[in-house]
Structure 1
Amino acid sequence: MRPDAEHDLEAAYRAHRTSLFHFLRRNAGAEEAPDLVQEVFARAAGSAQRRQLVNPGGFLRRIAQNLLIDRARRQKSSRAVFYPLREEAEGAIPAAQEWNLEAADLLRLYEAAVDAMPPKTRRVFLMHRVDELSYREIHEALGISIATVEYHMMKALGQIAKAVDGGR
């Protein structure tokens, strides 16, 4: 990764978060827009394309549009279909075991990244992801601005993406 690629993504975040928020609020509603903006930047941080952003605004807008499409598909097919498990015929197979090992490795990398975060960033991240508080609730609980909550979430997601990319 270019040394300034992370800086480029942070600059794109500062430059485009407001317009993305308004776009997502219009298309998904005010309640879901902050989380969707976060998801846009999480996907951007995990994308290999983040290393050579020529048009960051267009890149982020495309991710937002794809999120809305995915969301619409999930809502359309939200009915769960359950199939009976035949334990004798459908036991664990080596590929599933390998996937479980990879999942355990990713979990270890994720936990290490969370532990390595600065205390305030870790607190904001855990309040949102574990306690499921909204940005507004975190802002009120900690007495920090919503923009600061967004900054800490972006910083946390960037550190996690960096740890996961480095650990593979």
Structure 2
Amino acid sequence: MDYDDSIGRSGLAGDDPLPPEDWSGFARTARLDAIYAAHQPELRRYLASRAPRQDVSDLVQDCFRNLAASKGQALALIEKPGAYLIRTARNLLAMRARTGERRMQSAHDSFDETAVAGPDPHAALEARDAIRRIEASLARLKPKTREILLMHRFDGLSYEQIAAAKGLTVKGVEWQIAQAMKAIDRARTAKP
């Protein structure tokens, strides 16, 4: 065999540029291919039982992307790539669950909010019924008592003004309003 002194044992000519010191050639790619061939079916089965079917391929790809992205010689230091890939898959699933939960919470509209639910029909019926009972109790009041209550509550007159207008004492006006309020309170608390 002819041996040319200008070509060294590595097969490179003396003036050929040398690769960087951390270059490992095709060994890294070959190792990734071997890991993929060995662990992809197991990883796919693991993810298929925990994720929607349409997401499994994307998750497998993400797991191997994380493995390939490990810097420098870290790939060579991983003793159990299958366990590393399963742990990566578990972390990706947890991350997707957290982001999915946040996305669902932000899109959630509570049924109890008035904008969605509208007015409460039961409360409206109860309020209408209470108003009817109060109106009926006002109608049953003596005309003088009813008039004094309406002058105070709706016209905004003070006890002194009502007393002067009706020819009563302030104590008499207070007593008439107290009688009216008792009747209204009984009507409000009465069961239909």
- TM interval, short-chain normalised: 0.3 to 0.5
- For the pair shown, the structure with the greater C-alpha radius of gyration is 2
TM-score by length of 2: 0.39
TM-score by length of 1: 0.44
Which structure would you say has the larger RCO, counting Cα contacts within 8 Å and 6 or more residues apart? Answer: 1
Q: Which has the higher helix share?
A: 1
